[in-house]
Structure 1
Amino acid sequence: MSIKGVCCLCLLLLGIGFEGVAQDSLRVYRRLDSIRQLPDDTGKVALLIKKGKSNARYFDSSGTENLFWQEAVRVSQLLKYPRGLSLAYNELGTNKRNKSQYIIAADYHEKAIRQAEETNDTVLLAFALNNAGVDNRRMDKLQQAFDYHLRALALAESIHDTRNICVATNSIGNIQLTTENYGEAITHFNRALQLEEDSKNQLGVAINLANLGYAWQGLHQEERAIQYFKQSLAVNQKIDNPTGMAICYNALGAAYKEVKDYGTAMEYLEKALVVNDKVEDKVHVAESYLNIGKLLGAQGRHEAARQYIQRSIEVSTYWNFKSMLMEAYKALAVDYKSSGDFRKSLEATEKSLLYKDSIVDEKSAMVLAQMQAIYEVDRKNMQIRNLEHDKMVNLLRTKRNVVITITLGAFLLMAIVGGFFYIRHRNLEANKQTLQLELRSLRSQMNPHFIFNSLSSIHRYIWSNSQEEASDYLTKFSRLMRLILDNTQHTFVTLNKELESLRLYLDLESLRCNGIFEFAIRVSPDINEEEVLIPPMILQPYVENAIWHGLVHKQAGQGALDISIVLKKRSLVCTVTDNGIGRKKAMAIKERKGRVHTSVGMKVTEGRIDLIRKINNKEANVQVQDLEDEAGQPLGTSVVITLPAEFIF
C-alpha cells in the first residue's frame, strides 16, 4: 500500500473513532436527561447510582466527573436522604481512590460515614468505614487506617456481616504486614482466609494465600512462603485470573532467588512474562523484566542482566511508570558497581534519584490539587445551600407582602399611618443591610489573607522534605478550612466553634514556629460556649499579630500567649496577652527590614468592629496596651477586644 493509502486509512479509522466517542457521549447524556425528567424520590437516587456504575468507564476515559453520581448527591440533599448520600459518596470516593487521588477519596468516604451514621444501617456504616481505612492505608496513615478497620470489624461482627468482616480483617493484616508485625499479620490473614473459603470467594482465597506468603517471607521462612505462593497461584489459575497469576509468578521468582535456586526462579519469572500479555496493567511486564535482570546479576551474568533491566526501563518509559524507572536505574547502578564500572553506576544512581525527586514533586502537587478540589466542592455546596435558603426567604417575604396588602386594603386609614412608619422602617433596614454587606465584604478580605499565610507554611514544609510534618499540617489545615467555610457563612457563630478554629490555628502556628511558644485559652465559668455568639475570625488577626510581631522575635525564655474571655454585663471582653518583645521593638525590626506596613488582618478586623458598633449601637472597641516592668523594659503586649454580648436565645 502506498503512503497516501496508509494516510487515508488512518484518517478513516480516526474518523470512525471520533464518531464512536461522539455517539457514546450523546447516548450517556440522553440517558442522564431522561432520568432528570423523573420525579425526585429515593427510586430516582437508586437509578442514578446504578447508571453511574454502568457508565463509569465512559466518564473515566473522558476524564470528567461522573454526572450520574453528582446528580444522585444533589437529589439526595434535596430529599434529605442520608442513605442515598452515603451510597453516592462511597461510589465517588472509591472512583477517586482508583485514580490514586487518596485525599479526595478520604474526604468523600468520611462524608459517607457521617451520612451512614444517620441511617442506622450497620452494613452501610461498616462498608464506609472500611473504605476510609483503605484510603488512609494508601496514604501510609496506618494508625488512622487501623482505627477505621477496627471499628468496621466490631460493627460487622455484631451483625455477622461476613463480607465486611473479611475486608476489615484482611486490611488489618496488611497494616501489620507493612509495619513488619508478621506474627499478627499471619493471624489476621488466616482468619480472613477461613472466612473467604467458607464464603466460596475464590478471589479472596487467592489474595489471602499470597498475603500469607509475603508474611512468611518477611520472617525469612522462604520455603513456607513458596508453598503459600504456589497455593495462591493454583487458585488464580483455577479462576483464570491473569493479574493474580503474574503476581504469584513474580513472587515465586523472588522467593526462589532468595534460596539461590536460580534455575527455578528463572522458570517462574519467564512464566510471568508469558501471562503478562493477558494483563492490561503493563507495570507487571516491567516488574518481570526487572526481576529477571536482578536474578541474572546475582549469578554474575551482568551483560544479560543489563539487557533485561534495559527492557524494563523501555517499557516503564513508554508507559511513564516513574516508580519502576526509579527501581530499574537503582538496580542498574548496583549491577554496574558489582562489575567495577563505577562511572556508569554513578550515572544510573543519578537517574534513579531524578525519578525519585520527580515522584516527590508529583505527590506534593497532587496533594495541593486535591486540597483545592475539596475546597471548591465544599464552596459550591455552600453556595447551593445559600441559594436554597435565599429562595425560601424570598418565598416567605412574598407571603408576608400579600398579607400586608390585604391588611392595608381593609384598613385604609391605618394604611396611611402605617405607610409612614413602614417607609421609615424600610430606610432603617436598608441602612442596616448596607452596613451588613460592608461587614461581609471585610470578612471576605480577611479570609484569603489568612488562607494565604497557611498555604505558605504548607509550601515550606513540602520543600523542606518534612513529609510527616507536612502530612500532619495538611490534615489540621483541611479541618481548619472546613471550619472556616462553615463559620464565615454567618455573621455570628457560637463561641465554642470560634474557639475550636482558633485552637486549630494556634496548633498550626506552633508547628510552623517549631514550638517556640505555648498558648492557653481560658473562658469564664459563667459563659456557656454553645449559647454565646461571636463574629467569626474576630480574634485570629490579633493572635497572629502577637505571634509574628511579638513572640517570634523573643530572644530568651519560652514564649507565652494567653487568651481570656469574660462576660461583663452585656459585653464580651476578649483579652489577648503575649510576653513578646513589645510594639516598639517590633516596629524597629520592621524598619530595619524595610517592611513597615499595617497588618491587613488587623486593619480589616478594626473595620469589622467599627461596623458592629454602628449596626448594634452598642459598645465595641479595641484597646492595645504595652506591658512594661518597673524599669520600663517591655514585657509584651495586651489587646482587649470588647464586643456586644449576643446569645442564641
Structure 2
Amino acid sequence: MSIKGVCFLSLLLLGACFGAIAQDSIRIYRLLDSVRALPNDTAKVSLLLKKSGANARYFESHKIENPFAQDALTLAQQLKYAKGISLAYNEIGTSKRNKSLYIVAEDYHEKALKAAEEINDTFLIVFSLNNAGVDCRRQDKLQKAFDYHVRALRLAEKINDVRNICVATNSIGNIQLTTEKYADAITHFNHALELEEKSHNDLGIAINLGNLGYAYQGQNKLDLAIQYYKRSLAMNQKMDRPIGMAICYNALGAAYQEKKDYQSAMFYLKKALEVNDKVDDKVHVAESYLSIGKLLRAQGKHDEARKYMMQSIDISNFWGFKAMLMEAYKALAADFKESGDFRKSLDAMDKSLLYKDSILDEKSAMALTQMQTIYEVDQKNVQIRNLEHDKVIGDLRTKRNVVVTFFLAAFLIMAIVGGFFYIRHRNLKTNKQTLQLELRSLRSQMNPHFIFNSLSSIHRYIWSNNQEEASDYLTKFSRLMRLILDNTQHTFVTLNKELESLRLYLDLEALRCNGIFEYRFNVDPEINDEEVLIPPMILQPYVENAIWHGLVHKQPDEKGLLDIEIVLKKRSLICTITDNGIGRKKAMEIKDRKGRTHNSVGMKVTEGRIDLIRKINNKEAKVTITDLEDESGQATGTKVTIVLPAEFIF
C-alpha cells in the first residue's frame, strides 16, 4: 500500500468515526455525572472502578486522564478504604503503563502494593506485584522485575490463583528469554501453557506458544521454533486476532530467513503485511515493509530492497514512528554500503543517528517529566483542596449574614452543651476518685484478714504436727506473706505474680489438710501472663471458701479436686473456680449444726471490690456462683465464675 493510500484510508476512518466518538463522549460524561451524584460509600468506589475499566480504551485513545479512576482513588482515600485505594492505584498505574509512562506506572503499582499489604489481601498483593514486575521489565530493570514476579508466583500458588500464576510464570519466562537463559524460559513457558490450556484461555495459549518459538529459535532449533510459531498462528486465526497473526507471520519470516529459505520467508512476511492493514497501529505496517526490505537485501536484491525500506520510511514519517525511522535508515545505510555507495550510506546513517539521539532526548525528557509528576501528585491534591476551599469561601460571602447568625446560635448552644458536659465530667471525676479511695480501703482490709486466717492455721498446725513440719510450713508461710504484702501495695499486679501467690497458698493448705485435695491450673495458652493485669488477692477468698466449706467435708475415701481456669474473651478476663465438694446446701447444714454465725469477711470484701471495679471502669465485672448437681439432683460441687475487665501493661 502506498503512502497516499494510507492517508486516504486514515481520512475515511476519521470521518466515519467522528460522529461515533462524539456520541461516546456525551454518553461517558453523562454516566460520570450520574455516578458522582450517588452517596459517598465503598459501593460508589466499586462502581467507579467498574466504569473506569469499561471506558478505559476511550480515555487512553484520547490521551486524557480517566476521571472514573481518579474519583475512585480520591473517594477511597477519604473513606480510608484500603482495598479501594489499592484497586484504584492499580487501575491508574496500568493506564500510565499503556501510555509508556513506566516510571509513574511503577510508582502507582508500588503504592497499590503497600495498600494491599496493609489489609493483608493476598489476591491484591499478587496482582500488584505482577503489575510492578511488568513496569520494571518495560524499563529493563530485569532483576527487580524478576523478584516481583517470583514473589507473586509463590503467593499465587498458595491461594491457587491460576490467572496470576500464568501471568507471573509467563513474565519470568520472558525475562529469562531476554537474558538468553533459553532452557529456563522454556520450562516456565511450558508450565504457563499447561495452565492456560486447562483454563481454556486461547489468548494465553497463543502467547505462550509464540514465546516457546522465540526460545527455541534462540537455541537455534529453527524447525522446532517454526512448529510452535505455526501452532500460535493457528490459535490467532481461530480467534480472528490480526495483531497476533501479524506477529506470528513476522516470526515465521525471520525463522525461515535464518534458515536461508528466502522463498518461505518472503511468503510469510507478505502475509504479515496483508494482515497488518487490519491493525489500527500502523507501526506494524512500517515494520513489515522494513522486514521485507531486509530480506531482499540479504538476497542481494538491493534496488527492490530499497523500495520497501523507503515505503517503511514514508509511513513512519507520516505517523511519527521515530524508532522505526532509526531502524529503517540504519538498514538503508547497510544496503548502500553493500552496494558500494558510501556517500548515501553515510547520509542514511547520519539520519539514523539523528533519530536515535532524538529518541534518547525524548526518553530523558519523559523520565524527568515522570519524576516531576510523581513529586507533584501530592501538590496537585493540595491545590484541589485549596480550590474547594476558595469555592466554599465564595459561597459563604454571598450568605454572610445568615452564616454569622447561624454561628452565633451554634456558639451559644455549644457553650451550653460544653458547660453541661464539663460539670458532668468534673462530677464523674470526683465520684471516681471517691470510689478509688473506697476500693483502696477495701483492698487494705485483705492483709489483716488473710494474715489472721493464716496465723490461725499455723497455730492449729503446730499443735497437731511435729516441729520440723511446722517449721517448713512457717517458712512457706513467710514467703507467701512477703509476696502478698508486696502485691497488695498495687492496684493491679501481673497475672503470673497473682498465680504464684495462689499456688503457694494452695500448697500450704494442702499440707495443712494432709493432702485431702488436689488442685489444677488451666490458663489459656493465648494469654501472656506477664502482660495481663489482675487485682491482687481477688481469687484467694473464693479458693479458701471452696476448700474449707466444700472439700474438707468430703468422705475420707473421696479425693477432693479444685480446678482454677483463666481465659480471655474479647475485653474480659474470666476466672472460674470449680470444686467437687459437698455443695453450698450441705455446707450450710453443717454450719447450722455447729451453731456458727460467722460470715466470711474475705468474701464480702472481695464482692465489694468487684462491684467498685465495675463502677470505676464502667465495664462488666461480676461474680456468679453455680451449684453443680448430677442427674439425680445430688450436689457434686460448686462453680464460681469471676468476670473482670481485661487490663494490660501496654
Report the TM-score range of the alignment, normalised by the length of the smaller protein.
Answer: 0.5 to 0.7
Judged with a 3 Å threshold, the aligned counterparts in structure 2 of structure 1 residues 256 and 31 are, in CA distance, closer, same or farther, namely same
Q: Distance in 2 between matches of 1:408 and 1:137?
A: 60
Q: Distance in 2 between matches of 1:218 and 1:400?
A: 78
1:378 deviation in Å? Answer: 2.0
Change (3 A) 1:402 1:168: farther
C-alpha distance after superposition, 1:198-226 (max 9, x if no partner): 11111111111111111111122222211
Aligned to 1:433: none
* Superposition map of 1:1-20 within 5 A: none
Which residue of structure 1 lines up, in the alignment, with residue 261 of structure 2? 261
Partner of 1:175 in structure 2? Answer: 175
Question: 1:318 aligned to 2:318?
Answer: yes
1:340 aligns with 2:352: no
Partners of 1:107 and 1:290 in 2: CA distance: 36
* DSSP 3-state at the match of 2:73: helix
Deviation at 1:64, TM superposition (A): 2.2
Name 1:107's counterpart in structure 2: 107
Q: Structure 1 residues 201, 24: CA separation in 2 closer, same or farther (over 3 Å shift)?
A: closer
Q: Quote the residue 1:75 is aligned against.
A: 75
- Separation in 2 of the partners of 1:203 and 1:160? 20
Residue 263 and residue 45 in structure 1: after superposition, are their counterparts in 2 closer, same or farther (change >3 A)?
same
CA RMSD after TM alignment: 3.0
Query: What is the CA-CA distance between 1:60 and the residue it aligns to?
Result: 2.6
How do 1:427-576 residues align onto structure 2 when only pairs under 5 Å count? none
Letter in structure 1 aligned against 2:370: Q
| 1:22/1:240 CA distance change after superposition, 3 Å | closer
Please give the secondary structure, in 2, of the residue aligned with 1:278. Answer: coil
**Structure 1: how far apart are the matches of 2:348 and 2:326?**
9
In 2, the alpha carbon distance for the partners of 1:329 and 1:297 equals 14
| Counterpart amino acid of residue 373 in structure 2 | A
Indicate conservation of the 8 Å contact 2:86/2:115, yes or no: yes
Name 1:287's counterpart in structure 2. 287
Distance 2:357 2:86 in 1: 38
Partners of 1:17 and 1:245 lie apart in 2 by 25
Percent of counterpart pairs with the same letter?
A: 69
**How far 1:55 moved relative to its partner?**
2.4
TM-score where L is the length of structure 2:
0.57
The one-letter code of the counterpart of 2:365 is A
Q: Per-residue deviation at 1:353?
A: 0.4
* Whole-angstrom distance in 2 between the partners of 1:266 and 1:367: 39
Output one character per residue of 1:178-211: Cα deviation in whole Å (capped at 9) or x when no partner: 1111111111111111111111111111111111
Q: Which residue of 2 aligns with 1:306?
A: 306
* Pair 193,18 (structure 1): closer, same or farther in 2 beyond 3 Å: closer
Partner of 2:124: 124
Aligned residue in 1 for 2:598? none
Distance 2:150 2:127 in 1: 12
In structure 2, the partner of 1:247 is: 247
Deviation at 1:19, TM superposition (A): 6.8
Gaps of 5+ in 2: 1-10, 393-406, 421-650
2-structure distance, mates of 1:63, 1:56: 10
Deviation, 1:53, is: 2.0
Aligned equivalent of 1:543 = none
Instruction: For 2:29 and 2:235, locate their aligned partners in 1 and report how far apart those are by CA, in whole Å.
Output: 41
Q: 1:144, CA displacement in angstroms? A: 1.0
Q: 1:49: which partner in 2?
A: 49
Q: What one-letter code is carried by the residue in structure 1 that aligns with 2:277?
A: D
Q: What is aligned with 1:140?
A: 140
Give the drift of 1:36. 1.5
Q: Structure 1 stretch 112-121 or stretch 302-311: which is displaced more?
A: 112-121
| CA–CA separation in structure 1 for the residues paired with 2:16 and 2:272 | 36
2:158 matched to 1:158? yes
- Bigger CA radius of gyration: 2
Q: Distance in 2 between matches of 1:14 and 1:294?
A: 32
Q: Runs of 5+ in structure 1 lacking a partner? A: 1-10, 392-396, 411-649
Instruction: Note closer, same or farther for the CA distance 1:31–1:353 as it changes in structure 2 (3 Å cut).
Output: same
Letter in 2 for 1:351: K
Q: How does 1:24-103 map to 2 (within 5 A)?
A: 24-103=24-103
Q: Which amino acid aligns with 2:339?
A: S
CA 1:130–1:15 in 2, change beyond 3 Å: closer, same or farther? closer
| Alpha-carbon spacing, 1:26–1:110, altered in 2? closer, same or farther (3 Å) | same
Indicate if the aligned counterparts of 2:60 and 2:99 stay in contact, CA closer than 8 A. no
Distance in 2 (alpha carbons) for counterparts of 1:21 and 1:331: 39
Measured in 2, the distance between the counterparts of 1:301 and 1:316 equals: 23
* TM-superposed deviation, 1:398: 10
Question: Alpha-carbon deviation of 1:240?
Answer: 1.2
Q: What amino acid sits opposite 1:380 in the alignment? A: K
Q: Matches of 1:42 and 1:273 in 2, distance apart?
A: 49
- What is the alpha-carbon distance in structure 1 between the residues aligned to residue 269 and residue 17 of structure 2? 37
Give me the TM-score of the superposition, normalised by structure 1. Answer: 0.57
* Alpha carbons of structure 1 residues 398 and 153: separation in structure 2 relative to 1, 3 Å: farther
Structure 1 residues 16 and 283, CA gap change in structure 2 (3 angstroms)? closer
Q: In structure 2, do the counterparts of structure 1 residues 15 and 292 end up closer, same or farther at CA, with 3 Å as the change threshold?
A: closer
For residue 58 of structure 1, report the CA deviation from its aligned partner: 3.0
Task: Return the offset for 1:75.
Answer: 1.1
**Deviation of residue 404 (structure 1)?**
7.9
Q: Distance in 2 between matches of 1:15 and 1:355?
A: 32
> How big is each residue's C-alpha offset from its partner over 1:481-519, in whole Å with a ceiling of 9 and x where there is no partner?
xxxxxxxxxxxxxxxxxxxxxxxxxxxxxxxxxxxxxxx
Instruction: Check 1:120–1:341 CA distance in 2 against 1; reply closer, same or farther (3 A cut).
Output: same
Shift of 1:174: 0.6
Residue 234 of structure 1 and its aligned partner are, at CA, apart by: 1.2
Deviation of residue 276 (structure 1)?
1.1
**Cα distance change, pair 248–383 in 1 and its aligned pair in 2 (3 A):** same
What is aligned with 2:424?
Answer: none
Q: 1:232 to 1:14 in 2, by over 3 A?
A: closer
Structure-2 separation of matches of 1:17 and 1:196: 36
* Matching residue of 1:597: none
Q: Distance in 1 between matches of 2:409 and 2:44?
A: 32
Can you list the C-alpha shifts for 1:41-67, whole angstroms capped at 9, x where unaligned? 111111111111222233233332111
In the other structure, the counterpart of 2:208 is 208
Partner of 2:199 in structure 1?
199
Distance in structure 1 (CA, Å) of the matches to 2:15 and 2:355: 37
**1:218 maps to which residue?**
218
AA in 1 matched with 2:249: Y
CA drift of 1:26 comes to: 3.6
Cα distance in 2 for residues equivalent to 1:177 and 1:98: 22
Give CA deviations for 1:464-493 in whole Å, capped at 9, x if unaligned: xxxxxxxxxxxxxxxxxxxxxxxxxxxxxx
Q: Which residue of 1 aligns with 2:523?
A: none
- Change in CA separation of 1:251 and 1:403 when aligned onto 2, cut-off 3 Å: same
Whether the aligned pair in 1 keeps the contact of 2:214 and 2:225 (CA below 8 Å) is yes
| Cα distance between partner residues in 1 of 2:52 and 2:417 | 53
SS at match of 2:277: helix
Residues 1:284 and 1:62: Cα distance change in structure 2 (over 3 Å): closer
> Residues 269 and 338 of structure 1: is their aligned pair in 2 closer, same or farther, counting only changes over 3 Å?
same
The corresponding residue for 2:500 is none
What's the offset of the Cα at 1:136? 0.6
**Against the structure 1 CA distance between its residues 179 and 15, is the aligned structure 2 distance closer, same or farther, given a 3 Å change threshold?**
closer
* Aligned twin of 1:378: 378
After TM superposition, list the pairs within 5 Å mapping 1:343-382 onto structure 2: 343-381=343-381
Within-5 A mapping of 1:352-431:
352-381=352-381, 405-406=415-416
Amino acid at match of 1:287: E
Aligned pairs, number: 395
- Distance in 2 separating the partners of 1:162 and 1:407: 59
Q: 1:232-280: per-residue Cα shift (whole Å, max 9, x none)?
A: 1111111111111100101111111111001111111111111112111
Deviations 1:413-448 (A, max 9, x none): xxxxxxxxxxxxxxxxxxxxxxxxxxxxxxxxxxxx
Q: Partner residue of 1:237?
A: 237
Output the CA distance in 1 between the equivalents of 2:65 and 2:209: 36
In the alignment, the residues of structure 2 paired with residue 264 and residue 304 of structure 1 have an alpha-carbon distance, to the nearest angstrom, of 18
